[in-house]
Amino acid sequence: MIQVRKAGERGHFDHGWLDTQHTFSFGDYSDPAHMGFRSLRVINDDRVAPGQGFGMHGHRDMEIVTYVLDGALQHKDSLGNGSIIRAGELQRMTAGTGVRHSEFNPSDTEWVHLYQIWLLPERTGLKPSYEELAVGEEEKQGRFRPVASPDGAAGSLTIHQDARLYLASLLPGQAVAHPIEPGRAAWLQVLRGSVNVLGNDLSSRDGVAVTDENAISVQAAVPSEILLFDLA
């Protein structure tokens, strides 16, 4: 079964310094029909103005993965971590028993475009931790490159949930496929470009939930980048 989530149907708020779109219910956006998908709880598509950002705030019992598409993001947290995450790089934060962090755009001129993803953890009360990953364009060209997994496979981030995340960049006409094991499901997010997923045409920032299928196949119409979730 295929359920398409068009970009324009998501929750949208323009705060001036932050232009954000929520695939699932989050903050002031509440939609009982879109509360998450399996262990995937949040997909926020954020654009943050130069010199602006999210001040220090806390989280508990959540696996948080952030991917920067354009620009840069300055991270600081109560674990003592501090760094700048640039385009093509990801961070993973296990909030566990509690962590505080801030995320700012350090540029004076450029907006930063990022996706922030929350997954429910396998259990509550985990020890907070933090990790970063840089993915070169050649690593994801024409294939699904693992970027997060429960076992840190292939140099991916380690998340505390039975979920695997993959990035792929596709040239026009290029196709990739991923098997879906019985009982599992997939979510695909189009980060940029235009693709066809199992007969459905999707544009930049669209998403699709795939259940009761044995594989997901994706073909690009234009240069595209996609993010795939393989979920228990």
Check residue 146 and give its pLDDT: 98
Inter-residue contact 134 to 152 (CB < 8 Å): no
Rounded Cα gap, residues 165 and 187, in angstroms: 10
Check residue 130 and give its pLDDT: 98
Name the region of 189 (left: φ>0; alpha: ψ -120 to 50; beta: rest). Answer: beta
Give the count of alpha carbons within 13 A of 97, CB side only.
Answer: 5
Inter-residue contact 160 to 179 (CB < 8 Å): no
pTM > 0.95: yes or no: yes
Check residue 188 and give its pLDDT: 98
Check residue 4 and give its pLDDT: 98
Question: What is the mean pLDDT, run by run of 10 residues, along the chain of 232 residues?
Answer: 97 98 97 97 98 97 98 97 97 98 98 98 98 97 98 97 98 98 98 97 98 98 98 98
Check residue 84 and give its pLDDT: 98
Rounded Cα gap, residues 157 and 85, in angstroms: 14
Check residue 189 and give its pLDDT: 98
Question: What torsion, rounded to 10 degrees, do the Cα atoms 45, 49, 51, 55 define?
Answer: -40
Residue in the block written with tokens 């993803």: 117
Inter-residue contact 22 to 223 (CB < 8 Å): no
**The tokens of 8 are what?**
């324009």
Rounded Cα gap, residues 158 and 148, in angstroms: 6
